[in-house]
Amino acid sequence: MSSPAPTTVDPTLSAHTTLRLGGPASRIVRAEGAAEVVDAVAAADRAGERVLLVGGGSNLVVADAGFDGTAVLLAGRGIDHERDGDRVLLTVEAGEDWDDVVAATVADGLGGLECLSGIPGRTGATPVQNVGAYGVEVADLLVDVDLYDRRTGTVREHVPASDLGLAYRTSVLKGSDDAIVLRVRFALHADGRSAPIRYGELARTLGVDPETRTDPAAVREAVLGLRRGKGMVLDAEDHDTWSAGSFFTNPILPTDRAPQVDGLAAWPAGEGRVKLSAAGLIQNAGFGRGHAGPGGRVSLSTRHVLALTHRGGGTTADLLALAREVQGGVAERFGVTLHPEPVLVNCAV
């Protein structure tokens, strides 16, 4: 039986990104399930068209010129549970809203994902970016993924997490469009306890010691509160949330090359290496909250300097100009190059 024809929608990419920026795609197709994703991508490949996968658009910075090709909106839904001893295997379709997934696991008393509450986007993007927050990464919980391999035109099921090159905010899937995530599987705690609380700010908010496992619902509420305080929970009326989240990754450097800055947060990152706070570097380079870019149309968030925000009426060129200003200021002051975390489509910093 053939799959239903994918639904064609308005091609303006700004309508499909949390920044509300970006020009048109040649065509946008809304794929309601894995089979439709495969059909849409295969059709584009046969036509020799480029393909852009769009989930919630929370990790995309799209050029004002747009995208010359087919953009496929991931809209497939579905969540399945399977008990496996003292854990539950959770299988999630790529188009599921990520925070809805986290909320559902917490409501079911499953532990593991609660620290990743409030992160916008679709589930299929989480292994691509190795999404992480508050001491937890997708890599900690991911079992495997199902992929569509564009090179062979086949679906590969149960590709183990160990094959994905998961590292800090990256994977072998990032920056390559040869393989497309169709669904994702996680192993979660079935004992009603959270993942160990490893992030100091979160432990203090909860009033627990580091490494404590506690009520996932309490952790979720604490994380959402912390994220709201930083403008990191989507709200259409709040321009501080018109962003792509943290714009720069925390740089990892050899310890002997790391700048010494009073009060700068830093974490061990393997033998002889240290991870530095990008936000701390930005602040110490003289960029405060609300620092405005061209014409005030873009700015650093008024609550969190690591987010570059669209204040309305702006362009992607405005946003990139602000990013380059911040990047250049940090490089000049500390000799450290900050690298963007979002996927840049037809543009660069």
The catalytic residue positions are 169, 246, 341
Question: What is the CA 44 to chain-centroid distance, rounded?
Answer: 25
SS3 readout for the chain: CCCCCCEEECCEHHHHCCCCCCCEEEEEEEECCHHHHHHHHHHHHHCCCEEEEECCCCCEEECCCCEEEEEEEECCCCEEEEEECCEEEEEEECCCEHHHHHHHHHHCCCECCHHHCCCCCEHHHHHHHCCEECCEEHHHCEEEEEEEECCCCEEEEEEEHHHCCCECCECCCCCCCCEEEEEEEEEEECCCCCCCCCCHHHHHHHCCCCCCCCCHHHHHHHHHHHHHHCCCCCCCCCHHHCEEEECECCCEEEHHHCCCCCCCCEEECCCCEEEECHHHHHHHCCCCCCCECHHHCEEECCCCCCEEEECCCCCHHHHHHHHHHHHHHHHHHHCCCCCECCEEECCCC
Question: What is the CA 251 to chain-centroid distance, rounded?
Answer: 17
